[in-house]
């Protein structure tokens, strides 16, 4: 009996998760996913072409993430015409808790509420901080592991 209840719970959970994912990625007639930001706005990665996109994975408890965030803020401020920094909370925090964490950490760049890895066919490394580099044509280029400095990030811009 317990096994039946557990199986039913798992099936319902997976169905709910599938529906939630479908809804969060819906909204594009061209088939490209539209992602929601923590502030309620949406974006498509094709709208960011011509800029390098850095997708940074962070967590409130991650000390190296805390060290890297000011560097990412500075990069976005100085090179906003060439770069778009986006964040993803590693722990999947949503809503008011997500906004509170971003404010507490001083994050000034937009935060995605859904992980876009699937769009770029990139598996999680399990290391934080982790940053995906998407080139100016919207193609995944590489993964940066560990905290990056402004100087290291500037090198990426100059190389692209």
pTM over 0.85: no
Mean pLDDT of 111-140: 95
pLDDT in tens, 82-94: 999 999 999 999 9
Does residue 30 form part of some domain?
no
CB-count exposure of residue 148 (10 Å: 0-12, 13-18, 19+): buried
Q: Which residue bears the tokens 């850095």?
A: 54
In this structure, what CATH number is given to the domain that contains residue 148?
3.40.30.10
Does residue 146 form part of some domain?
yes
CA dist 20 and 1 (Å) reads 29
Does residue 141 form part of some domain?
yes
Does residue 21 form part of some domain?
no
Does residue 20 form part of some domain?
no
Residue-level pLDDT at 24:
45
CA gyration radius, the chain = 17
Question: For residue 113, what is the DSSP state?
Answer: S
pLDDT in tens, 28-83: 456 889 999 999 999 999 999 899 999 999 999 999 999 999 999 999 999 999 99
Does residue 70 form part of some domain?
yes
Domains held by the chain: number = 1
- Comparing CA positions, the residue from 141, 10, 147 lying closest to residue 83 is 141
Is the pLDDT confidence value at 27 over 70? no
Q: Which two structure tokens, joined as six digits, stand for 2?
A: 């317990």
Pick from 8-12, 52-56, 67-71, 150-154: least confident:
8-12
Residue-level pLDDT at 62:
98
| Full residue range of the structural domain in which residue 132 is found | 35-159
Does residue 22 form part of some domain?
no
Does residue 72 form part of some domain?
yes
| More confident: 8 or 95 | 95
CA dist 28 and 148 (Å) reads 33
């Amino acid at each position: 009996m317990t096994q039946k209840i557990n199986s039913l719970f798992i099936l319902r959970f997976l169905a709910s998760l599938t529906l939630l994912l479908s809804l969060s990625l819906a909204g594009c007639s061209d088939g490209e996913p539209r992602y929601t930001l923590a502030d309620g706005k949406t974006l498509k990665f094709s709208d960011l072409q011509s800029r390098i996109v850095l997708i940074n994975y962070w967590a409130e408890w991650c000390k190296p993430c805390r060290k890297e965030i000011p560097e990412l803020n500075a990069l976005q401020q100085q090179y906003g015409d060439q770069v778009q920094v986006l964040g993803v909370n590693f722990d999947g925090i949503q809503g008011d808790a997500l906004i509170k964490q971003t404010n507490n950490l001083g994050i000034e760049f937009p935060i995605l509420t859904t992980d876009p890895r699937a769009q770029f066919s990139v598996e999680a490394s399990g290391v934080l901080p982790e940053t995906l580099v998407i080139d100016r044509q919207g193609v995944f280029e590489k993964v940066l592991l560990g905290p990056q400095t402004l100087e290291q990030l500037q090198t990426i811009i100059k190389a692209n």
